Amino acid sequence: MEVLRIILTIIFIVVSLALLIVVLMQEGKSAGLGAISGAAETYWGKAKGKSMEGFLVKFTKGLAIAFILLAAVLNISKF
C-alpha cells in the first residue's frame, strides 16, 4: 500500500507542475485595446476552441480535475 501512495504522490507532483506551466502559458482574459475598436470579434476570436489557446483551456480543466481527484485520494489514504 505504501508503494501505491509513493506512486500517487509522484503523479500528484507531476500534475501540479504541469498545471502550473499550462496556466502560465495562457494569455490573459483582457482583450487590450483591440476590444475598443471591435477587433476582438475576428476569425481567430470565433475559432478559439480549435486554436492552441482553446487546447490549453481544455488541458487546464483536465489537469485541475486530476489535481483535485489525486488530492482527495491521497488525503483519504492517510486514514
Which is it for the CA torsion 16, 18, 23, 24, positive or negative? positive
Please state the pTM of the whole predicted model: 0.71
Mean pLDDT of the chain: 82
Q: Report whether 70 contacts 4 (CB < 8 A).
A: no
Answer yes or no: is pLDDT of 57 > 60: yes
Query: What's the pLDDT tens digit per position in 31-44?
Result: 555 555 555 555 55
Which is it for the CA torsion 49, 50, 53, 54, positive or negative? positive
Return the closest-CA partner of residue 67 out of 24, 8, 26: 8
- DSSP state, 41? G
Query: What's the pLDDT tens digit per position in 11-31?
Result: 999 999 999 999 999 877 665
